[in-house]
Amino acid sequence: MLQLPIQLGRTGFRPSFRLDQANPCPGCGKSHWYVGRATAECAFCGSALPIAETSGAPHRGWARAAC
C-alpha cells in the first residue's frame, strides 16, 4: 500500500520555536528557553520544540567562520 504525503492542513497543531518572535511555551505558558541547534527546551517544564529556521544558513545574529 502506498502512503500519502503529509498534508499539513489536516495533521493538527504543530508548534515550533521561531527565532524572530516571542515564544510562549505550549506546556506552561512561560517564555524562558534553552536554545540549541535544532530544538528549544522550556527552562521551566522541559517541553521541547523544533526550531522553525533549520535551513543550515547562518542566522542574522550568528558569526561566520573565517576561511
Q: What percent of the chain has pLDDT over 70?
A: 66
pLDDT at 2: 63
Instruction: Give 14's pLDDT tier (boundaries 50, 70, 90).
Output: confident
pTM for this structure?
0.62
Q: How far apart are CA 38 and CA 27, in angstroms?
A: 19
Q: What value does the mean pLDDT take over residues 2-19? A: 75
Mean predicted confidence (pLDDT) in 27-40? 94
Residue by residue, DSSP assigns the chain as -PPPPP-GGGS-----B-TTS----TTT----EEE-SSEEEETTT--EEEBS--SSSPPTTSPPPP-
Is residue 13 predicted with pLDDT exceeding 60? yes
